[in-house]
Copies of this chain bind each other. A is one copy, B any other.
Amino acid sequence: MFSDFASHFGINNIPYGVASSTRWPTPQCVTRIDNDVISLADLADKGIFDGVAENLAKVFHERTLNPFAALSKDIHAKVRSAIQSAYKDGKLDGCSEHVDNVQMHLPVQIGDFSDFSGSMNHMGNMSEVISGKRTIPPMFHKFPPVYAGRCSSIYISGTPVTRPLGHSFEDFTAPEKGIVFGPCRILDYELEVGAIIGSPVEPSTMLHAKDADEHIFGLVLVNDWSARDIQVCEMTPLGPFNGKNFATTISPWIITLEALEPYRTPAPELSVTEFLDDPNSMNYKIDLGVEVTRNGTKSKVCEVNFDTMHWTLRQMLAHHTIGGCGLRTGDLIATGTVSGVGETEHGCLMELTKGGRKPFTLSDGNDLRYLEDGDIVQFTGLLADGVGFGECTGQVRPAPKLP
């Protein structure tokens, strides 16, 4: 239940989302404190934001947070403070619904989705699983690798994920045996964090990493579901496509950089091109976790901190824009799988089970190699008592019958 995560949403969080309910049949902009989902439009109507900006009531009645995310950081800060003051002054009465009584929706309209691969541990682990050697491609030391993902398949936490059909090598380890068609046999998750763009970056602007926070509205958790067999068969030379585009799940609450600021931690110092250089390079101390529920039994399969990342989100935004590409409000920029060095810190099953060769033992003693139909995958992210992401969850549904 959503209400399990009340402790993530204290007065120092003030996340943003979009919700509907019996009282609010049309999705609208909301925040959350403990288990109360609060209508920002109602707060605006009550005058809580008077003097902060024009038209906030209209902005908060929209079905997406894009118009709000596009406003200045100064306005975001004033809105946050006004909500905190209203809470302290007991002025939120009549503006909220219990979280179990609302339906959450995608918080923004996402015009483009870019998925980076910013963890050196993940890259090394995957290389070891696939080739037996821990190889990091030389370009990884110069810039963060990335591919463009699919926007129409981004779903809100709680949406079931259907096992895809597709082409794959009959034998994953012996491509020469040929290509077959059928349901995905190697279904995986990828534990990621994503930035939602606030203020846009105009084409040909070429952002420096050190200035990139100005354009990040906030962060969400991302599950980049991956059909490994389909992905491996298709990705040379154009990259992943059907192996990824059947589903990507995001958590419903956007956690702002203001809420995250107290949990900053230094990022690796890198010797890089000037526009990627960031004298105060930093990550956030986010305790990320993955739990898999199979046959009603929940097992913790990963605990890893976001501070293990090699490339920062700031650097990802800088690399993204250096060729002249713009970023629009609502764009999703994901970090790629977050993995540490330890055996309990693997952000995907390919790493955890060494390509399925070394099963993980679930709480009930059964083996986990890859995802089976019915499995529920739940990501969580917590910074400290009162500041967290809640959950990013999806259950695997069986593949459709062959057409």
Contacts and interface: CB of A to CB of B under 8 A. Distances in A.
Contact of A181 (B145, B246, B273): B273
B152 A324 contact: no
Interface in A123-156: 137-139, 142-143, 145-153
Contacts of A273: 167, 181
Contacts of A147: 147-148, 238-239, 241
Nearest to A163: B324
A145 B275 contact: no
B323 A139 contact: no
A266 interface: no
B152 A327 contact: yes
Interface in A109-127: 111-112, 114, 117
A403 interface: yes
Query: What is the oligomeric copy number?
Result: 2
Interface string A306-341: 000000000000011011111110010000000000
B233 A236 contact: no
Contacts of A236: 137, 236-237
A227 interface: yes
A390 interface: no
A238 B146 contact: yes
Contacts of A184: 323
A230 interface: yes
A54 interface: no
Nearest to A336: B238
A268 interface: no
A52 interface: no
A247 interface: yes
A138 B274 contact: no
Contacts of A3: none
Contact of A239 (B150, B162, B175, B239): B239
A42 interface: no
Interface in A150-205: 150-153, 162, 164-167, 175, 178-179, 181, 184, 203-204
Contact of A162 (B151, B179, B204, B235): B204
A240 interface: yes
A235 B227 contact: no
Given A148-B241, A242-B319, A242-B320, 18 more contacts: A111-B151, A138-B178, A147-B148, A147-B238, A147-B239, A152-B325, A152-B326, A162-B324, A164-B322, A164-B324, A165-B323, A181-B273, A206-B400, A237-B239, A239-B239, A242-B325, A245-B323, A246-B323
19 contacts: A112-B150, A137-B237, A139-B234, A142-B179, A143-B167, A145-B237, A146-B234, A147-B147, A152-B325, A152-B331, A153-B325, A162-B324, A165-B323, A166-B322, A181-B273, A184-B323, A239-B239, A242-B323, A324-B400
